[in-house]
Chain A
């Protein structure tokens, strides 16, 4: 009997699971030009978000989306559900603006203005204040539970929850008058849906800014993925200059790196430590990069200490990096067809949107013909059709409207007195149109209702059908 030897063969690579526990990222705080820009955007966006609902305009909240009454109040505008086209226009303009900014300068939105970025920034600031800098935070998380750790953690979460709830409250304040909401809160009389949305939005803020952070950008956000479709070789991206930086190695300050056959990168790893998504920008453009420029700031401080020229990591284009273009040459490439087309379409849409807002009549009318009867004979042998007109007053004062009708010989309208509609309300009125019997051939005829607002003289014309039976 021969002994059978089973050879042991090395697999050559390790085995991993299909799922992976997320490694927590501890971004290092950094100072510099782009960090200042980020904070400026935090203040700007949050001043608008938290402040807007408190601003009054002519006796009411300046921006209020009153869902239950189906009226949106924006500055002097009163929008009806029928004004959905303006929302569509706003969304199209926003999307095109995103395309334009992205084509020119990469993921600016992600890096500076996206709420996910902004709230993460705020929450990280709180974390930094309470738990200390990157090293202190890593040490704190690694050490076993102690009274100090417990206090710090609790304190952080309480502050986070406070900010989150205030954010949720502000959000609901766009849909319910915020001053009344505040009073209702103080009297613990908030409606159940309001409570739900304050907590829901608050929970989303707490979870996304406190825990999910870069995971949202990496795994959930659709914009992150499709923005790369707007990139081309002339788009500004945060990028590392390998021609200048490589070969990287640590070294002493002093001698010219060229004499040691080294690049400018001292491999300190600071660019990785400051990155909010935890990537190494030296590996080139990656989908995780939100274009915040913090690694630019970090690298610049190191270059300064080493007395090397700044911007080893910089905002640059792929073409510019390869050809070593100057700032002037980069700017010239901004005016390329893609950017010009985005700009032109955006300008046309913005102009169209503004023009239609300016030319908007302060009221709307819907005409609904009575469905049950074709026509009837009224007194005096006149043929009569009945319509219902819904007059929607989009001003904040009661208005009087005059109604007339045109389009047929001998057409008369009754009642012809003015119709009063309350401020920001709509009203149905029944109106009869008559023609002399036999004056019009049988069939469907087009008539036009003309509705005029007495105060401003604004006119709306609505088409309707007048039916003459055989």
Chain B
């Protein structure tokens, strides 16, 4: 019972249920004893709306038997299953328990399917078409919400089909990412970079790193201020997978393209998070997923 509801209400509901059943028994018993006068034309003598007469058609006894069965069933049900207020019943059944036992059963049924792949390295799994189909379904159900059905992501959600990895694209790293999740933090850097004009210069320098259209004068001025950024993004903005710092010298713009978007990022920073999946998926499922994701941008080794 909820902490917010007094146990009186549980007793009250249980009492109402039991009294209702008792009332049904009483009604059956009383009506079974009742005698009515029968007339030659098989009516009760009740006439209304001028000529409508109530015929006296007795209920068959087996129908009464069904009522009795219903009462017996309801008492048995209430003894075994939850139904009487907060009384849990003899079987201690709960919807949560039923769900958990179903999940456990399904997991057990799936164990032999996954067991086949337990000994294989992730790269090898990626070659197996059945494993790929399993991985695809897992991806659709668990990852596609953010990364898209085609795993190509969208603004703020990384594309998993290119070779650009924030935290590393080796099978081990992918397993780690899925299991524990990732947090990407870019602190607001405006104060460290300098004046708003300096920020604009740095933004143009960043654009120049990947050969995007930029103001070369501002880029030149911004280069020296980029030292504040290089602590994470590295000299020349090549990024650092150990810290999850993106490579700024490629043409991939996860959080938005153009001077304004970069200025905004330097000024406000960004905190983004990929949630860990270890509580939701089994280790075997995570390995399947990792092999699927790895296979999106890698060709599995040829059959040995």
Taking Cβ atoms with an 8 Å cutoff, the residues of A that contact B are: 11, 13-22, 212, 215, 219, 370-379, 384, 386-388, 428, 430-432
Q: A212 — nearest CB in chain B belongs to which residue? A: B62
Q: Which of B90-98, B139-147, B238-246 contacts A (4 or more CB under 8 A)?
A: B139-147
A11 to B32 Cα, complex, angstroms: 21
Please name all residues of chain B whose beta carbon is closer than 8 Å to the beta carbon of A388 when the two chains form the complex: 140, 149
**Which chain B residues (87-117) contact chain A, with CB distance < 8 Å?**
none
CB neighbours of B31 from chain A (8 A):
18-19
State which of B38, B60, B64, B152 has its C-beta within 8 Å of the C-beta of A215.
Answer: B60
8 additional contacts (CB under 8 A) given A430-B148, A431-B150: A13-B38, A15-B37, A20-B59, A22-B62, A212-B62, A219-B63, A373-B148, A428-B140
Complex Cα distance, B28 from A17, in Å, reads 12
User: Closest CB-CB distance, B130 to chain A, in whole Å?
Assistant: 13
> Would you call B9 an interface residue if the criterion is a C-beta within 8 Å of the partner chain's C-beta atoms?
no
B81 on interface, CB distance cutoff 8 Å: no
Bin the interface of chain B by size. 20 to 34
Which residues of A are found within 8 Å of B64, using beta-carbon distances? 19
Of the candidates B34, B140, B146, B150, the one whose C-beta lies within 8 Å of that of A386 is: B150
Give the CA-CA distance A371 to B146 in the complex, in Å.
9
Query: CB-CB < 8 A to B152: which residues of A?
Result: 376, 378, 384, 386, 432
Q: Is B58 an interface residue (CB 8 A)?
A: yes
Contact with A along B12-55 (1 / 0, CB 8 A): 00000000000000000001101111111000000000000000
Contact (Cβ within 8 A) A13 B37: yes
Known: A17-B32, A18-B34, A19-B64. A430 touches B149 (CB 8 A): yes
Contact partner of A372 among B61, B151, B154, CB < 8 A?
Answer: B154
Identify the closest chain B residue to A431 (Cβ).
B150
From 139 to 181 in chain B, residues with beta carbon under 8 angstroms from any chain A beta carbon are 140, 144-146, 148-155, 157
Q: Do residues A373 and B154 form an inter-chain contact, with CB atoms below 8 A?
A: yes
Q: Which of A14, A19, A432 contacts B150 (CB 8 A)?
A: A432
- Whether A22 and B60, one on each chain, are in contact in the complex, defined by CB atoms closer than 8 angstroms, is yes
* Nearest CB of B to A419, in Å: 13
Q: CA of A415 to CA of B148 in the docked complex: distance in angstroms?
A: 15
Q: In whole angstroms, how far apart are the Cα atoms of A466 and B134 in the complex?
A: 29
> Could you say which residues of chain B place their CB within 8 Å of the CB of A373?
148, 153-155, 157
Contacts of B60 in A (CB 8 A): 19-22, 215, 219
Residues of A within 8 A of B58 (CB): 16-20
A386 to B144, CA, bound (A): 11
Inter-chain contacts of A377 with B (CB < 8 A): 155, 257
Which of B32, B34, B56, B148 touches A370 (beta carbons < 8 Å)?
B148
User: Are A386 and B39 within 8 A (Cβ)?
Assistant: no
Known: A372-B148, A430-B149. A22 touches B61 (CB 8 A): yes
B34 contact set on A, CB distance < 8 A: 17-18
> Which residue of chain A has the shortest Cβ distance to B62 in the bound complex?
A22
Q: Is the CB of A15 within 8 A of B36?
A: yes
Bound CA span A370–B140, Å: 11
Q: How far is the CB of A189 from chain B (nearest CB, A)?
A: 17
- State the Cβ distance, A110 to closest chain B Cβ, in Å: 19
Q: Which residues of chain A are within 8 angstroms of B150 by Cβ–Cβ distance?
A: 386, 430-432
Bound together, the chains give a CA A372 to CA B37 distance in angstroms of: 74
Q: Which of B40, B140, B154 has the most CB of A within 10 A?
A: B154
- The residue in chain B whose Cβ has the minimal distance to the Cβ of A428 is B140
In the bound assembly, the distance between CA atoms of A430 and B62 in angstroms comes to 60
Find the A residue at minimum CB distance from B151.
Answer: A430
5 A–B contacts, CB within 8 A, in A order: A16-B38, A17-B35, A18-B32, A371-B145, A430-B148
Cα distance A21–B62 in the bound complex, in angstroms: 8
Q: What are the residues of chain A within 8 A of B153 when measuring CB–CB? A: 373, 376
Closest CB-CB distance, B65 to chain A, in whole Å?
10
What residues of chain A lie closer than 8 Å to B59, measured between beta carbons? 18-20
Write the nearest CB–CB distance from A123 to chain B, whole angstroms.
Answer: 18
Complex-state Cα separation, A430 to B296, whole angstroms: 13
A374 contacts which chain B residues (CB < 8 A)?
A: 154
Give the 7 A-B residue pairs with the shortest CB-CB distance, closest first: A373-B154, A20-B58, A430-B149, A430-B150, A15-B35, A376-B154, A16-B38
Docked Cα-Cα span, A378 to B161, in Å, equals 12
Inter-subunit contact A14/B38 (CB<8 Å): yes
Q: Which residues of A contact B148 (CB under 8 A)?
A: 370, 372-373, 386, 430
Q: How far is the CB of B61 from chain A (nearest CB, A)?
A: 5
Most buried by A among B31, B149, B150: B149
Residues of chain B within 8 A (CB-CB) of A212 are: 62
Q: B245-281 vs A: 1/0 string, CB under 8 Å? A: 0000001000001000000000000000000000000
Q: Give CA–CA (A135, B62) in the complex, Å.
A: 26
Contact A15-B38, Cβ < 8 Å, known A372-B146, A373-B148: yes
When the two chains form their complex, are residues B39 and A13 in contact, meaning their CB atoms are under 8 A apart? Answer: yes
- Chain B residues lying within 8 Å of A19, measured Cβ to Cβ, are 31-32, 58-61, 63-64
Contacts of A372 in B (CB 8 A): 144-146, 148, 154, 157
Q: Using Cβ atoms and an 8 Å threshold, which residues of chain B touch A432?
A: 150, 152
Chain B hits for A430, CB < 8 A: 148-151
